[in-house]
């Protein structure tokens, strides 16, 4: 299908082919051209005026990336981690913009796409993928082509389609510490050279790395299965159809939410009871420590989750002429999930139940349909499209984190349902005037979005205040029903300095619709909800290849102005009872820098750096909170804001070296990489927990293209290790005034993985 390269890129590509066939005497170390589909067409990454990082299949394998969480710390100014207490729910942050509190009534701020289909819920996004082709991370708002909920940016996951041109069989086994075992089986069968069927199956298991001395499973256990079936059909010379069915089962347990420090003299700390929460190396019980625990005693039974995902994707493309391609992208996704959201599972309130032990049952299904027109004509290229999206969800909090065991059966109700619909029309036009020597490119884009959101909440339960006594919450049934619409323009100008480098400047706008809170405990806040958030970004960038394409430098400087920033705040009797509010006058400044160099034909190095400087305009925020003594049970509450936005570390960087050498019996490759991240806030309301600075070291060593003889395929052996120095670091840290009252003065944190290592054996047959 249609592939667009600027004239100078075509020349470079042609020259590379000529040199490649001219023999080793003319060969020189040069960086590989990276092709992406960030703007809905195939282009060189160096031609796209976006701060973008792309990982091809080889890079993904060398870094040990098999699911989206593995991208964490690999891309500066990008944060990817699980929602605290929920192992299978992923939070995405780009440039300090993301969804802090994951709820079915509020959308993500980073758009996640898989094979062109938008994924509307963060629940169940920790899935395995059997045959990744590429992952693209687009930093900065993508309000025109991606639109819906892309205020922070977008992540594209692209899997390999079935291939009519080859019979392919692949089997890999991966074993490691913590009794890790992963097996991936794949077969691609061509049909008459015009169609193909591909089947892939992955099973993955890893023990929990915090032993549970109490009831139930260990903390941090992973248990996943994935099956995909692909059918590809080349219909004549101008049409192609690709259908994919995917099924995933995720049965992970949550990580340990660990109390970092406990003050028994805090105002109401006397209501907390520990059940031998942990033991030290000598088996002596300890109540709280800032060190990563290897053992803990659960008060409640720790249960495995059960997330079942079924997804259908149908992509059709028709090259109607040499200048026009028409694409249709249809997707359906169904998620049914049971998850245990445990907070401080080793402590109890008055010895009755853990501080929070939410047993959530979530059903979510979505349907998307997108129609794209992609064209080129003389000095113009364009992309236009129509987008339709709808979803429905239901969520039951069976466990009720605030005292379900004290309520007679049948009297507990904590239920929320949603129904949303979104329509959009978008277009982007690039003009390269020949009068200016084909060096200037002017791009205008716009998107009109119309969102309608509905929610229903039935709340009838008992809450426990910080004195440990039951506090009656008035039962209510409430409806939320609001519509939002927005016109988002964008303008970009980029200039080719020479055939190898260019500069660009752009102004982009994006928005995310409003909504309400499924954790709300009062009818006023639920029915009122919160407004849409808007973001305007100003960015200047440079992309260039130097020294005969042996050095590549990409850089971007940006300023983003936030309007009505959406933030979750506590409005009830405890931290779990929350509503969303809008905060004005937040802004983010920063830069991104990526330098890649081919030192020799065998050795390549990369340095990537990200800087963020975020701040709020007002120093405090006022909102409605529960107050039993106030008329109507509500009164104004004022909280101070942090200096920086949440999950927006000032400094983040990655450094890596790749070495490859052809030896007599195969290809030897090695990679060593390090990721650094400075301290970051985990929330925006004081007191906020912090994620301390960290440096993680990883490495791989592989021998591939091992031929056993004849045409019997090839073998690959890969040794890998992550967090080789076994650094202790937080991936989440909750700290609020309410926790201080209970004695958790240093917060409740979840730790990242300890040192992990293993070996991968792979066989692939291709004919």
Greater model confidence, 678 or 472: 678
Greater model confidence, 194 or 397: 194
Nearest Cα to 691, choosing from 735, 629, 637? 735
Q: Residue 237: which residues within 8 A CB-CB, separation 6 or more?
A: none
Span 362-390, mean pLDDT?
96
Q: For residues 427 and 152, what is the distance between their CA atoms, to the nearest angstrom?
A: 20
Q: Is residue 114 over pLDDT 50?
A: yes
Greater model confidence, 9 or 284: 284
Q: For residues 38 and 35, what is the distance between their CA atoms, to the nearest angstrom?
A: 9
**Is the distance from CB of 479 to CB of 455 less than 8 angstroms?**
yes
Give the model's pLDDT for residue 561: 94
Q: How confident is the model at residue 283 (pLDDT cuts 50, 70, 90)?
A: low
Task: Enter the pTM of the model.
Answer: 0.92
Span 600-614, mean pLDDT?
96
Span 592-609, mean pLDDT?
96
Q: Is residue 147 over pLDDT 60?
A: yes
Angle at 305 between CA 301 and CA 309, to 5 degrees: 170
Q: Is residue 756 over pLDDT 50?
A: yes
Written as six digits, the tokens of 426 are 């978008």
Give the model's pLDDT for residue 28: 57
Q: How confident is the model at residue 340 (pLDDT cuts 50, 70, 90)?
A: confident
Give the model's pLDDT for residue 473: 59
What domains sit in the chain, N to C, each tagged with a CATH number? Answer: 7-766 (2.40.170.20)
Tens-place pLDDT, residues 647-706: 999 999 999 999 999 998 899 999 999 999 999 998 888 888 899 999 999 999 999 999
Q: Is residue 3 over pLDDT 50?
A: no
Written as six digits, the tokens of 761 are 């054996």
Which strands, in side-by-side order, build the sheet including 748-751?
A: 258-259, 748-751, 730-734
Q: For residues 345 and 297, what is the distance between their CA atoms, to the nearest angstrom?
A: 8
Give the model's pLDDT for residue 606: 95
Percent of the residues in the chain that have a pLDDT greater than 90, as a whole number: 58
Give the model's pLDDT for residue 418: 95
Tens-place pLDDT, residues 711-741: 889 999 999 999 999 999 998 888 877 777 7
The region of weakest confidence among 1-15, 184-198, 383-397 is 1-15
Span 740-765, mean pLDDT?
90
Percent of the residues in the chain that have a pLDDT greater than 70, as a whole number: 89
Give the model's pLDDT for residue 563: 87
Greater model confidence, 22 or 302: 302
Tens-place pLDDT, residues 509-559: 999 999 999 888 888 899 999 999 999 999 999 999 999 999 999 999 999
Query: What would the DSSP string read from start to end of 257-299?
Result: -EE----TTSTTGGGEEES--EE-TTS-EES--SSPPSEE--S
Written as six digits, the tokens of 444 are 């205008």
Tens-place pLDDT, residues 206-240: 999 999 998 899 999 999 999 999 999 999 999 99
Give the model's pLDDT for residue 352: 64
Q: How confident is the model at residue 85 (pLDDT cuts 50, 70, 90)?
A: low
Give the model's pLDDT for residue 688: 86
**Is the distance from CB of 91 to CB of 101 less than 8 angstroms?**
no
Nearest Cα to 539, choosing from 58, 212, 141? 141
Give yes or no for a cis peptide into 687 (omega within 30° of 0): yes
Strands 578-583 and 565-570 come out as: antiparallel
Tens-place pLDDT, residues 23-42: 333 345 789 889 999 999 99
Span 334-361, mean pLDDT?
80
Q: Residue 662: which residues within 8 A CB-CB, separation 6 or more?
A: 668
Q: Is residue 262 over pLDDT 90?
A: no
* Mean pLDDT (the chain, rounded): 87
Written as six digits, the tokens of 376 are 């080129």
Q: Is residue 10 over pLDDT 60?
A: no
């Amino acid at each position: 299908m249609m592939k667009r390269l600027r004239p100078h890129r075509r020349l470079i590509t042609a020259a590379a082919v000529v040199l490649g066939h001219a023999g080793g005497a003319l060969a020189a170390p040069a960086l590989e051209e990276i092709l992406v589909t960030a703007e809905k067409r195939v282009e060189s990454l160096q031609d796209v005026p976006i701060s973008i990082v792309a990982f091809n299949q080889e890079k993904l394998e060398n870094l040990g990336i098999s699911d989206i969480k593995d991208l964490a710390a690999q891309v500066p100014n990008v944060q990817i981690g699980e929602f605290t207490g929920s192992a299978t729910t992923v939070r995405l942050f780009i440039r300090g913009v993301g969804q802090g509190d994951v709820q079915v009534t509020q959308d993500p701020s980073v758009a996640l796409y898989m094979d062109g289909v938008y994924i509307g819920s963060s629940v169940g996004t920790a899935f395995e993928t059997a045959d990744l082709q590429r992952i693209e991370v687009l930093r900065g708002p993508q309000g025109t082509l991606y639109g819906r909920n892309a205020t922070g940016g977008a992540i594209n996951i692209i899997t390999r389609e079935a291939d009519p041109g080859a019979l392919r069989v692949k089997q890999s086994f991966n074993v490691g510490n913590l009794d890790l075992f992963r097996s991936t089986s794949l077969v691609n069968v061509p049909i008459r050279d015009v169609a193909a069927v591909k089947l892939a199956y992955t099973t993955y298991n890893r023990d929990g790395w915090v032993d549970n001395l109490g009831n139930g499973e260990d903390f941090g256990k992973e248990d996943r299965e994935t099956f995909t079936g692909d059918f590809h059909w080349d219909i004549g010379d101008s049409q192609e159809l690709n259908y994919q069915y995917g099924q995933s089962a995720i049965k992970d347990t949550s990580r340990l939410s660990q109390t970092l420090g406990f003050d028994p003299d805090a105002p109401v700390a006397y209501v907390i009871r520990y059940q031998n929460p942990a033991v030290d190396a000598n088996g002596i019980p300890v109540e709280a420590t800032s060190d990563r625990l290897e053992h803990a005693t659960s008060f409640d039974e720790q249960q495995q989750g059960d997330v079942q995902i079924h997804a259908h994707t149908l992509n059709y493309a028709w090259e109607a002429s040499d200048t026009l391609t028409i694409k249709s992208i249809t997707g359906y996704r169904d998620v049914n999930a049971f998850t245990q959201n445990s907070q401080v599972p080793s402590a109890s309130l008055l010895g009755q139940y853990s501080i929070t032990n939410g047993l959530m049952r979530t059903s979510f299904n979505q349907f998307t349909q997108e129609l794209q027109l992609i064209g080129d004509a003389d000095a113009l290229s364009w992309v236009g499209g129509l987008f339709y999206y709808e979803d429905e969800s239901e969520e039951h909090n069976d466990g009720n984190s605030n005292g379900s065991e004290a309520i007679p059966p049948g009297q507990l109700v904590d239920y929320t349902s949603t129904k949303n619909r979104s329509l959009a029309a978008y277009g982007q036009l690039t003009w390269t005037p020949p009068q200016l020597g084909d060096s200037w490119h002017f791009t205008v884009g716009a998107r009109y979005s119309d969102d309608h959101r509905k929610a229903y909440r039935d709340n009838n339960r008992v809450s426990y205040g910080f004195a440990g006594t039951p506090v009656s919450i008035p039962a209510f049934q409430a409806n939320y029903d609001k519509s939002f619409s927005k016109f988002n323009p964008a303008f970009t100008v980029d200039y080719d300095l020479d055939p190898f480098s260019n500069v660009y400047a752009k102004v982009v706008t994006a928005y995310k619709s409003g909504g309400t809170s499924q954790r709300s405990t009062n009818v006023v806040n639920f029915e009122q909800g919160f407004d849409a958030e808007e973001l305007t970004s100003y960015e200047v960038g440079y992309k260039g290849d130097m020294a005969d394409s042996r050095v590549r430098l990409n850089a971007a400087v940006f300023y983003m102005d936030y309007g009505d920033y959406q933030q979750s705040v506590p409005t009830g009797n405890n931290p779990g009872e929350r509503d969303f509010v809008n905060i004005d006058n937040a802004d983010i400044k920063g830069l991104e820098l990526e330098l890649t160099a081919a030192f020799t034909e065998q050795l390549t190095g990369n340095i990537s750096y990200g800087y963020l400087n975020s701040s709020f305009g007002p120093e405090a925020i006022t909102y409605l909170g529960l107050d039993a003594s106030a008329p109507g049970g509500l009164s104004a509450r004022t909280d101070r804001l942090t200096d920086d936005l949440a999950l927006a570390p000032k400094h983040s960087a990655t450094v890596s070296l790749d070495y490859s050498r052809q030896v007599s019996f195969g290809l030897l490759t090695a990679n060593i990489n390090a990721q650094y991240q400075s301290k970051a806030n985990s929330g925006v309301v004081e007191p906020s927990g912090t994620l301390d600075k960290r440096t993680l070291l990883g490495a791989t060593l592989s021998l591939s293209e091992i031929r056993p003889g004849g045409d019997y395929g090839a073998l690959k052996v890969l040794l890998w290790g992550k967090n080789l120095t076994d650094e202790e670091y937080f991936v989440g840290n909750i700290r609020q005034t309410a926790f201080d009252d209970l004695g958790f003065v240093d917060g409740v944190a979840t730790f990242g993985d300890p040192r992990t290592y293993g070996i991968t054996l792979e066989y692939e047959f291709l004919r």
